[in-house]
Structure formats: structure tokens, C-alpha cells
Structure 1
Amino acid sequence: MKKKEYGVLGLGKFGMAVAMTLAESGNSVIAVDMDADRVDEAAQFVTCAMVADVTDPDVLENLGISNLDCVIVGVSTNMQASIMATILTKEKGVGFIVAKAENEIHKHILEKIGADKIVFPEAEMGTRLARNLMGGEFVDLVELSKEFSMVEMPVPEMWIGKSLRELDVRGSYGLNIIGVKRGDNLKVNLDPEKPMGKEDILVIVGKNSDFAKIGVEA
């Protein structure tokens, strides 16, 4: 999978977890915070870490923020800083902006100013978000443990028109298809002889390492 370039603005528990998870997977990560200790911690694993004010347009310009694939605005307790950082990031033309909200009012404002995704996470949710960002093939992902995940994903192109029996997903990939969604309907009693369609969404459980066998990461 092609690695991407991310920016993380704010290194609280959430921002630090996102930055670490993205960096550990080999992505380029720029991390910014006003707290020097947090920046020093992040500098051990991210591509670039800087002590700076994320509400300063010149700072974001110097970071080359407009060239990043995604920016995560992890500032939330300071609503004004969060809103300003999101506005500036949007103005710089970043393609996808994730912002952490402190409450529903904050969330509503972030939606109005153009954040693409708003979250209310703690550190463990930061890890889940990072994996969803990297796994663009997923409709959703739930970490069952550090080793196992449950994902919803479209039928891989090479599987379309083939049945579960033909594919032998468990034997070939070590993964278990536990359901198939079509629209709002979820079917768990699966016919092993029925060909899978392009419009189907698979619900799969397995080891994170085994998802790589079908060309995706968990």
C-alpha cells in the first residue's frame, strides 16, 4: 500500500496515539504542539516534530501543510485554537481534515467550517482512527485486541463472482467471513455456493497480519 503524508496538530493523548500509529506503519508524519516535552516525545518516532502555534498561518505554510494527504487537528480543549487550526488547514487546501471535538457545539462548528471527519476519542480511539485512515479499503474497523480486528470491506475485485467454497478464505488467508451486508441488510447464515457480488460488503474477523494477504492492512 502506498504510504501517505500526515500532519498531526496537537499532541495530547489522542494526537500522540494517532501520530505514533501512523509513523509505526511507515508513513511520513509531521507533528506540532506548543508543549516542548510532548514534541520531544513525538520526535522519537515521527518524521518531523516542531514546537509551534498551530493557529499561526506562517507556521502551517512553512510546514508545507498543503502538500499533506491528511491533517488531524488534535487540539480540542482550546476551542478557539481548534477552530482556527481547522480553518487555516482548510484554506491551505488539505484534502482530508479530521478534527477532535470537545462537545456537540464544538462538533457543529467544526462541521460548518469544513472538517471532513469529527471525532470524540481518547488514546485508544486515536489508534483505531489511524488504522482506518491507512486502510482506505475498509468501510469500518473495530480492534478486538492488539492482534485481532473485525472489518467491514467491499468484496475484493479478485473475489467477485466466486463463492466462499471456491475461495476457501479460512484455509487460504486465515480469515473468517462472518457476514455479508447489502444495503441495510446483514446476512450471517451464508450460502457457501453463492457467488459474491460487487455491491456486497463483507464482515471479516481475523489476525491483523492476515489481512495483508488480501492486500489490505488492519
Structure 2
Amino acid sequence: MKREFAVIGLGRFGGSICQELSREGMEVLAIDNDEDKVNEFKNIASHAVIADSTDEASLKELGIKNIDHVIVAIGDNIQASILTTVILTDLGIKKITVKAQNDYHEKILNRIGANTVVHPERDMGKRIAHSIISNNILDYLELSDDHSIVEVKAGKRMVGKSVVELDIRANYGCNVVAIKQGKQINVSPGPTDVLYEGDILIVVGADKDISRFEKHLVIDD
């Protein structure tokens, strides 16, 4: 069975989630109080409706209780975001993901029942900052407040050396969980595996350790 999702708020963030879920073949109910935005997604989402998400009766009428996962992507209206989350929690929605505007907003969302809180602007800022430090840093994903996963291209200091020679875990406190070599992915690489130019490492660790790893091994002079 296809999983069913609802996306409330069809701005840039909510709209991109709606498009991607629909592209993956999921059933998506797109909700916004702006008629133009709803019309924009009528041919993208399974259903696109104009509704006020702070009105419990409207959400019930839409059958929101039957949705597996609701994403609250309301833009600048923090009050509407919080009230919508409260209503969804009261209705017993199993999985609620909410976009937060700031840390204070996140604290409130966590207390009122949001399962996952995301900071798209902050997280994207971190990813861009890391990518502009070096062309070798391809992606950066925050796992928690102080742990992340980073995708890096093998720097000059790494090429031709084995995993055991670099000893990234002992020297930097990070774990290499996979190495991409062309189209192949080597999960849990062994100590004798040698890195070649163009290889991509997936590294996980504490932010402070990843920072040291990037400065000493990833960023080429």
C-alpha cells in the first residue's frame, strides 16, 4: 500500500516536499489557505485543497485522521504552526514533522507533540557553508545538535593511502561508514582498502571532530 502524506503550507519548503513525495509515487494531500498556491499543486499532488489548518473541523472534514504522516510547513506564521501542531496531536496523528522558524519555536513544538522538527534554512546554511570551504566537501547533514554526517571527496592527503594508514577514527574521532568508488559503494571499508582520486567518503562523527577532519585531511592547500 502507498503511504499517505499531508503537507500543510505550500511555500518553497512545503512545495518541494510535496513535489518530491508525489514524484516518488506517494499519496499526497496538499493544503494551504492560499488559492493560488493550491491551484499550483492541483496537478502535482493527489489532492490539493484550500483550508485553514488552525480550524480543527476543517482538518477533520479532510480526513486528516487517516493520514500516516503530516508535514507542517507553514511559513512565517508561528502561531498558526503551533496551533496546527496542537490540533494534529489532539487528533492522534501518528507522525508529525514541523518546520521551525527558530530555536524557541522548536522548543515549543517538541513540547506539544511534534515527532520531528526541522530547520531548513539553518540546515541549508550549514551545508552551504561547508561546501564553500572546499570543493571536496560535497554534502553535510546534521544528525543532531552536535553530530553530523558528511560526504567528502578524497583530498590530496588521502589519495594513495589505506584506511589503516589514515586511521581517521583514532586521529579525528570520526567513522568512515562507506566509500564510493565510481558506481560501487563499499560499506564498512576494511583497513587495507586504499583511497584513489575521485573516491567519496561518507563520514559520521561529532561536529568538532568532523571540523578537525575536514581541516587536516579534506581541504587541499
What is the TM-score with the length of structure 1 in the denominator? 0.59
The answer to whether residue 111 in structure 2 is matched with residue 102 in structure 1 is no
| Greater RCO (CA < 8 Å, at least 6 residues apart) | 1
Trace 1:167-178 onto structure 2 (pairs within 5 A): 174-177=183-186
Deviation (angstroms), 1:142:
7.9
Which amino acid in 2 is paired with 1:55?
Answer: T
Q: CA deviation at 1:121?
A: 1.0
Answer yes or no: is the 8 Å Cα contact 2:9–2:74 preserved in 1: yes
SS of the counterpart of 2:105? helix
**1:58 match:** 57
SS in 1 for 2:120: coil
Greater radius of gyration (CA): 2
Q: CA RMSD in A?
A: 2.9
Whichever residue aligns with residue 84 of structure 2, its letter is: A
SS at match of 2:94: coil
Q: Quick one: distance in 1 between partners of 2:68 and 2:150?
A: 23
**Who is 1:117 aligned against?**
116
Structure 2 gap segments, 5+ residues each: 125-147, 153-179, 194-201, 204-221
Structure 1 residues without counterparts, runs of 5 or longer: 126-139, 145-168, 181-187, 193-202, 205-218
Give structure 1 regions of 4+ aligned residues with deviation exceeding 3 angstroms. 140-144, 188-192
1:75 counterpart residue number: 74
Query: 1:115 aligns to what SS in structure 2?
Result: coil
CA deviations over 1:101-152 (Å, ceiling 9, x no partner): 0001100000000100001115x97xxxxxxxxxxxxxx99899xxxxxxxx
State the TM-score, normalized to the length of structure 2.
0.58
Structure 1 segment 1-218 matched on structure 2, within 5 A: 2-122=1-121, 174-177=183-186, 179-180=187-188, 188-190=189-191
Count residues with an aligned counterpart. 145
Aligned-partner residue type, residue 65 of structure 1: I
| Equivalent-residue separation in structure 2 for 1:54 and 1:143 (angstroms) | 38
Give deviations 1:25-70, integer Å, cap 9, x for gaps: 1110001101111101111110110111010001110111111110
Q: Structure 2 counterpart of 1:106, which letter?
A: H
Relative to structure 1, is the Cα distance of residues 142 and 4 closer, same or farther in structure 2, using a 3 angstrom cutoff?
farther
Q: Percent identity?
A: 38
- What CA deviation, in whole Å up to 9, does each residue of 1:150-178 have, x standing for no partner? xxxxxxxxxxxxxxxxxxx989xx5312x
Q: CA deviation at 1:189?
A: 3.7
Distance 2:101 2:77 in 1: 9
Inter-partner Cα distance in structure 1 for 2:91 and 2:97: 14
